[in-house]
Structure 1
Amino acid sequence: MEWLLILLIGLAASALGSLIGLGGGIIVVPALLFIGTFGLPEVSPQVAVGTSLFTMIFTGMSSTIGYIKHKTIDYKSGLLFLIGSAPGGIAGAYWVKFLDVQAFNFYFGTFILLVSFVMVIRNKIKPLPFNKETGYVRTFTDPSGNTYEYGFNPFVAIAVALIIGFISGIFGVGGGSLMVPAMIIFFYFPPHVAVATSMFMIFLSSIVSSVAHIALGNIDWLYAALLVPGAWIGARGGVYLNQRLKSKTIVLILRIVLVIIGVRLIVEGFAG
């Protein structure tokens, strides 16, 4: 029964993660940290993070395959954002030891709640300006028939991704929790494209991160083996739902999850 619970955790986390582009770690990590209350062997925070990241390889791969079929991944944007977010994440992970993480968890949680509020008024916010002749421009029509035009200056995009990667590295939250809102708010990405592109980025970045955690021995292979099947199936379910929901619905779900993340960080800040 306990092993079935882990399988279901992987299924639910990946379905939600691939639906709104966050990867699923926000569910898997705390679930593994509290798994001991169900009579299963406890794991350390490092192992919980490492195991979650390894699982997200398969969440990202399954989601990416699904979104490829629907042609909603913006590969060029994803790779450009990775150029900034990857070194930013490494720098953030390094600098975290110099910071009072508990205090920053409180401030960052408050910031996440602010991002959720900004998502409400996003239609009244003008995207960052860019030259359409020298910048990157694309159009996309969502399942509801709405057509979007979006784009950005590549250097600005890399700079924004660098900042987001740095913040994510410090606070240990998935880059998607900020990258998806940033794509929607600053660059006017259609929600469907932002989510699909985020999962493509998570797939690539999880491979790199997992190599380091494997080398450090931070993966519980038994839990990983139980999480991966659920992650693969759940991710496909998330893609299926994403393609059938309206853009407004996806943004609403994203906002709700951001509120949960923000409250959790604030609680951790007070607990510290």
Structure 2
Amino acid sequence: MEIGYIFSGLMVGILVGITGVGGGSLMTPLLVFLFNFSPAVAVGTDLLFAALTKTGGVWVHHGKHGSVDWKIVRHLAYGSLPAAGLTIWLLHVLEKNSKDISGLITFSLGVALILTSIAVLIRAYLQRNAPALTDESNVGRFGDRQLGVTIAVGFVLGALVTLSSVGAGALGTVALFFLYPRLPTLKVVGTDLAHAIPLTALAGAGHWGLGNVDFVLLGSLLIGSLPGIWLGSHLSARIPDKILRPLLALLLLLIGLKFVLK
């Protein structure tokens, strides 16, 4: 079965490299449906998996490209990290009172996948219709209310990612395109990656404390996914985005509906 985990990590890594869609939206449903892991273990393991795999990406974006806006990362984290801690506390309280949290996690996972499918489709629209770059390229859409709106968006992302492991990638990127339409695409990607690391690490550590992390599974997924991401990134230029993106969005929508209606 560990060979199956490695192969699954490879396939998901290739898809992540090709599409840029976060591994959580692909990996977590795979672990639940194909390998019959509980939603809680699938989410907890995938959160630590995401924290580890995204670290390399941030190293490149910060060190080589200088494409991380740390001010925006801080503002998002002001909302997302407290939300992650609060969500872990809520899950702990529910478990302590003998409440089954699998239904809550399953429903949250479905909602996150449906939102991700929408995000996959509208990301290209937001990119095409972004205002032209100016000297004030970091000025956000909401002017004086920008800080409050960014923190609020971070809070929603933090709760959703902690409950479902989905959203730190695709939803975070779309949120940044919407909040900061003049921010260059490279900075959007780098900033989203940098914000995702502390969020997924904190949420993953919280799930670890709840007993929701399988480290054998985590190691196997890492072995398969790292070369998969490298391979997928090289294949991405050869596959038409206009074909792949709608198919991926449809797949995520169907899986999300299955979780919501489960």
**TM-score, normalised relative to structure 1:** 0.68
Q: 1:151 to 1:70 in 2, by over 3 A?
A: same
Matched, 1:154 2:147: yes
- The counterpart of 1:165, out of the listed 137, 158, 162, is 158
Are residue 66 (structure 1) and residue 60 (structure 2) matched?
yes
1:79 aligns with 2:78: no
Specify the alignment match of 1:39 in structure 2: none
* 8 Å CA contact retained: 2:109, 2:163: no
Amino acid at match of 1:85: S
Moved more, 77-86 or 107-116: 107-116
Amino acid at match of 2:137: E
Q: Shift of the alpha carbon at 1:60? A: 1.2
> C-alpha distance in 1, partners of 2:196/2:245?
16
Note the C-alpha offset of 1:183. 0.9
Superposed displacement of residue 179, structure 1:
1.4
Number of positions where the alignment pairs a residue of Structure 1 with one of Structure 2:
243
Q: C-alpha offsets along residues 24-64 of structure 1, whole Å, 9 cap, x if unaligned? A: 1222222222444xxxxx53222222221222222111222
Deviations 1:141-193 (A, max 9, x none): xxxxxxx9343233332222223334444555233232111111331133332
Task: Indicate whether 1:212 and 2:200 are aligned.
Answer: no
The share of aligned pairs that are identical, in percent, is: 21
Greater strand proportion: 1
Displacement of 1:255 in angstroms is 6.4
Shift, 1:109, TM fit = 5.9
Which residue identity does 2:41 align to in structure 1? V
Confirm or deny: 8 A CA contact 2:119 2:170 kept in the other structure.
no
Are the structure 2 counterparts of residues 252 and 177 from structure 1 closer, same or farther at C-alpha, using a change threshold of 3 Å? farther
**Contact 2:24 2:46 (8 Å CA) reproduced:** yes
Q: Give yes or no for contact 1:13–1:27 (8 Å, CA) kept in 2.
A: yes
Pairing of 1:170-209 with structure 2 (within 5 A): 173-188=166-181, 189-209=183-203
- 1:252 to partner: Cα distance: 8.5
Give the aligned partner of residue 142 of structure 1. none
SS of match in other structure, 2:83: helix
Shift of 1:88: 2.9
Q: Residue 201 and residue 66 in structure 1: after superposition, are their counterparts in 2 closer, same or farther (change >3 A)?
A: same
Note if 1:56 corresponds to 2:50. yes
1:43 maps to 2:15: no
Q: TM-score if structure 2 supplies the norm length?
A: 0.70
Change in CA separation of 1:154 and 1:108 when aligned onto 2, cut-off 3 Å: same
Name the aligned partner's letter for residue 194 of structure 2. F
The match for 2:254 among 263, 266, 271 is 263
Q: RMSD of the alignment, in Å?
A: 4.0
Distance apart, 1:262 and its partner CA: 2.9
The aligned amino acid for 2:259 is: E
Contact 1:53 1:209 in 2 (8 A): yes
Q: Residues 55 and 124 of structure 1: is their aligned pair in 2 closer, same or farther, counting only changes over 3 Å?
A: closer
- Is the Cα contact below 8 Å between 2:40 and 2:105 reproduced in 1? no
Q: Hey, what's the Cα distance between the residues in 2 that align with 1:209 and 1:268?
A: 21
SS across alignment from 1:73 = coil
Counterpart mapping for 1:132-151 below 5 A: 149-151=137-139
Change (3 A) 1:114 1:126: same
Give the match for residue 26 of structure 2: 27
Aligned residues of 1:22 and 1:174 also touching (Cα < 8 A): no
CA distance in 2, matches of 1:107, 1:48: 16
1:109-143 alpha-carbon deviations (Å, 9 max, x no partner): 6655554554454368677xxxxxxxxx987xxxx
Tell whether the 8 Å contact from 1:22 to 1:199 is kept in structure 2 after alignment.
no
Q: CA deviation at 1:204?
A: 1.8
Q: Greater helix percent: which structure?
A: 2
Separation in structure 2 between the aligned mates of residue 186 and residue 138 of structure 1, nearest angstrom: 16
